[in-house]
Structure 1
Amino acid sequence: MPTARDAVDHDKPPVRALYIHTPFCVHKCHYCDFYSIVDTQDRQEAFCDRLVHELRTLAPHTGGLPLQTIFVGGGTPSLLGPQRWARLLDAMALLFDLSLMRAQTSTADLIHHPSPLPPLLPIGEFTVECNPESATADLMAVLAAGGVNRVSVGAQSFNLHHLKTLERWHNPDNVFRAIHAARDAGIRRQSLDLIYAIPGQTLEEWRSDLTIALSAGTTHLSCYNLTYEANTAMTARMNAGQFTPIDEELEIQMFELTHEMLQSSGLMRYEVSNYALPGHECRHNMAYWRQQQWLAAGPSASGHVYASHDSLDGGFRWKQTPRLGDYLAGSGGPEASWYSPLADLEKPDPARAIRERLMTGLRLAEGIDRAAILEGAERASPGSMDRLLARAKPYLDRGLLIDAQGRWRLSDVAMLRADGIAADLMRAVVSHKTTNVNSMDRSV
């Protein structure tokens, strides 16, 4: 069975971003399709043991350079509690250079890129996702001491009825408790996640959620429309006729209201669903949308590294086993066994890499480098440059796609159709070889 070693063990630039997936939750939310389990304390302990060994195996792939971003998602990372987090952070400090996470800065120190690129704080970013109920003051103190400088709190809604629809059981008041605990601990950057287009939700109820979220004074808001993913309880309930999704026109109104309210409050949209104060964009997610490199640790975590020192050659993309039992069974024995077993491994395909850049890059307000995308398309598949230009022309003529300062970006109106427009442009870039994919995914 392939392991992460098959993806990362080759000549490539040092990797300076890391994603860690913690699978534990108190309860499986009905809309969630991320890998998560309701589990026991002893398995959490075994997971931490295994994770430390995996991180030790991955550390050399940073080339000894300071990590620029770390993102710990889930699941519910905050559920591990202060003691396990203290242990993990101590181990990470020994294995990785976390000096950028502790660097201090102010808004006066922003690095300003030429417009329309967003300014980013010149420090490392270490994010931990938190549930309002488990984001205690003690935990925040431990996280801050270990270099965590950003938390993302899953609020989802401040309306108890809509939280119940989503099968979220936290008290909305605890969202504010979590934010204040982070600030008191010295974690200066906080983000809230919200969901709209919940069955039965009105436009005014969504306006109320946005108003309450803005009153928290966080530096970042992620606002996602509810999607009905396969194999989730939410989709099963919908298919059984237990509720009716809101209509498309109302969902569009909610999307437009989000942009109007957040922009007028100083939070700038830098990605279709993400808004931030200048300099407070999520740097780790920017690495993902820009198709940069990141290592992956934990069950179901996904990673991406370049195949060579030329990023246009494409890269290895992989997903680790989405079963905790299989992940834990990989421990012990020789060093190679600490690499996680994989559920999926995609080997380099330059055409696929360009298609992915179109899909993720056009979701960003900054857009994509026009010359790089055209060069990459032609290198990957001769004739693709002309096909891509031809497909782009109608969008350019209608003002949906804007060509400015050497970049293609979507207009505000077109942001609502970002995935559809990107999918259309992607059809211009075809592969002349079959990507070698090893698929071992199993249902969980």
Structure 2
Amino acid sequence: MAQPQPVPLTVAGSLAQAGGIGASENSQAASQAAPKVTSKATAKDAGAMAKGASFRGAYFHVPFCRHKCHYCDFYSFVDTESRELAYVERLEEELQDALEFLTVPIETVFVGGGTPTMLGAELLGRMLSSIRRTLPIASNAEWSVEANPETVNEAVADALAQSGVRRVSLGAQSFNPKLLKALERDHDPASVERAVGLLRRAGIPQVNLDLIFAIPGSTIADWEADLLRALSIGPDHLSAYGLVYEPNTPLTVKLRKGSVTRLPEDEEAEQYEFVVEKLAKSGYERYEISNWSLPEMACRHNILYWENADWWAFGPSAAAHGNGVRWRNIPRLATWLENRPSAPVEEIECLGTDANAGESFMLGLRLMKGMPLERVESLLSCGENAPRRRRSIETFTRDGLLEQVDGHLRLSARGFMIADTVLSTLI
């Protein structure tokens, strides 16, 4: 799915997707100096290391998919062993195990994947009820669930609504059969409208559509048609991501072999500029590099990521962050199922003051509003790279790439187009 994953440094990877942010390079640069723990640690160990964290968000990773798309590098797979019930039962144990660390009300719950709706109505309803019953969820919490259009039926839509889910994110990606085939998506364009209709009738108040542009073989006319059809459905939120060629995915292998041709950078930029202009004219507020919403309908959970706040993560491969410590549960369902009650983690990373400051700039300046000036000054008062970052900010401000507006430092319109240059300098 195109909805952003909880890994804080997995950000947009192409010029058009993020105005130029490169994911893998930034991830490596921000983590090189951070000490890591790779022994047989658990999420409980990580939580103890993150002492003092206020986990305001909760992310749940459901790894099951009906079909593995060849561009996807998230932990997901087609399960031939029918382990959905075992997954939910194991997750219920993990909920109990995390309680001692969840000391403040959880403001956002996000269920991603994979395809969470592959659980079906009964198990998905059970999972959501267990979360609500076990965790200290705020009364006004945002509940979001990802879905692929072909997995939404009347029973699933009703289960989501009855469980208190207020926001569903649908992986539409394109409405062009040729481009869906290029992405190896296995839904037909009409299934998106059907899914949205079912969700609306069930009482889901907010629906997001994920779209992908810069697909091999696409033209600006194709992208315009996709965007216009998406708008005709009336989504409350739109996410538009440039196609990313992640390492070791089948799509990237095809790129290396020459069987897939990447869209030229100028055409990718043209598609990106079109979505920025069209959505502004259509009443959508752009609140982050790749995300737009109707007024008051921005995704609070994703904003929590970009503000580098604290969240706990449940399920195999789910990534968490707390008080400068981040970790990822082991990305193997069988191992996660067998090791209980605390989730086994693949790695714990303790960010130092300097690395945390760099990550905060990289994430916070993705937001249209930018970062509060007092936060900026605080980050510039610590860390060995603070003097370099201060000089960069002064230079970018003088050159019109950064600006101060309403007590915030933010990227200018020009700055968003070369965000990679700006943000990579501040890491």
Please classify the TM superposition score into its range, dividing by the shorter chain length.
0.7 to 0.9
1:55 CA displacement? 1.2
Q: Residue 402 of structure 2 aligns with which residue?
A: 401
Is the 1:25–1:75 contact (alpha carbons within 8 Å) kept by the matching residues of 2? yes
Q: Are 1:173 and 2:190 matched, yes or no? A: yes
Aligned to 1:281: 298
The amino acid that maps onto 1:76 is T
The TM-score normalised by the length of structure 2 is: 0.88
Number of residue pairs aligned between Structure 1 and Structure 2: 387
Q: How much has 1:339 moved relative to structure 2? A: 1.5
1:201 lines up with 2:244 in the alignment: no
Q: Which residue of 1 aligns with 2:28?
A: none
Distance in 1 (alpha carbons) for counterparts of 2:106 and 2:138: 8
The answer to whether the aligner puts 1:126 opposite 2:143 as a matched pair is: yes
- 1:269-348 aligned at under 5 Å gives the runs 269-306=286-323, 315-331=324-340, 338-348=341-351
Partner residue of 2:424?
A: 423
**By how many angstroms is 1:180 displaced?**
1.3
Asked if structure 2 preserves the Cα contact closer than 8 Å seen for 1:98 and 1:147, the reply is no
SS at match of 2:252: helix
Measured after TM superposition, the shift of residue 41 of structure 1 is 5.6
Which ranges of structure 2 fall in alignment gaps of 5 or more residues? 1-39
Q: Give 1:99 shift.
A: 5.1
* Matching residue within 228, 251, 274 for 1:257: 274
- 2 CA distance for matches of 1:213 and 1:176? 9
Q: Does the 8 A contact of 1:272 with 1:416 survive in 2?
A: no
* Structure 1 residues 164-197: Cα deviation after superposition (integer angstroms, max 9, x where no partner): 0000010111111111111111110110000000
Deviation at 1:287, TM superposition (A): 0.2
1:204-256 residue CA offsets vs partner (Å, 9 max, x unmatched)? 11000000001111110000000100010000111111121110001111110
Partner of 1:230: 247
Instruction: From 124, 134, 152, give the equivalent of 1:85.
Output: 124
Determine helix, strand or coil for the equivalent of 2:382: helix
SS in 2 for 1:92: helix
Q: Which runs of 5+ in 1 are unaligned?
A: 101-122, 307-314, 332-337, 427-444
Q: Take 1:99 and 1:18, find their aligned partners in 2: how far apart are those partners?
A: 12
Q: CA deviation at 1:350?
A: 1.1
Shift of 1:13: 4.3
Provide runs of 4+ in structure 1 moved above 6 Å: none
The Cα shift of 1:133 comes to 0.5
Aligned to 1:365: 368
Contact between 1:363 and 1:419, CA under 8 Å: does it hold in 2? Answer: no
Tell me which residue corresponds to 1:349. 352
C-alpha distance after superposition, 1:245-297 (max 9, x if no partner): 11000111111000000111011111111001121111000000000010000
In structure 1, what is the Cα distance between the partners aligned to 2:193 and 2:77? 26
Matched, 1:71 2:110: yes
Bigger radius of gyration: 1
Other-structure match for 2:31 = none
Give the C-alpha shift of residue 74 in structure 1. Answer: 0.4
Q: Which moved more, 1:363-372 or 1:244-253?
A: 363-372
For residues 406-444 of structure 1, the C-alpha deviation after alignment (integer angstroms, 9 at most, x for no partner) is 321001222132233111122xxxxxxxxxxxxxxxxxx
Residues 163 and 169 in structure 1, CA contact (< 8 A), matched pair in contact too: yes
Within the alignment, does 1:386 sit opposite 2:387 as a pair? Answer: yes
Secondary structure at 2:82's aligned position in 1? helix
Paired position in structure 1 for 2:82 = 42
Q: Which has the higher contact order (CA 8 A, sep 6+)?
A: 2
Report the residue type matching 1:386 in the other structure: P
Q: Is contact 1:361-1:367 (8 Å) kept?
A: yes
Q: Distance in 2 between matches of 1:91 and 1:368?
A: 36
Change (3 A) 1:99 1:421: closer
- The question of whether the paired residues in 2 share the 8 Å contact of 1:293 and 1:305 is answered with yes
The corresponding residue for 1:438 is: none
Q: Does 1:155 align with 2:195?
A: no
Q: 1:323-365: per-residue Cα shift (whole Å, max 9, x none)?
A: 111111113xxxxxx2211111111411111110111111110
Q: Which amino acid letter does the alignment assign opposite residue 323 of structure 1?
A: R
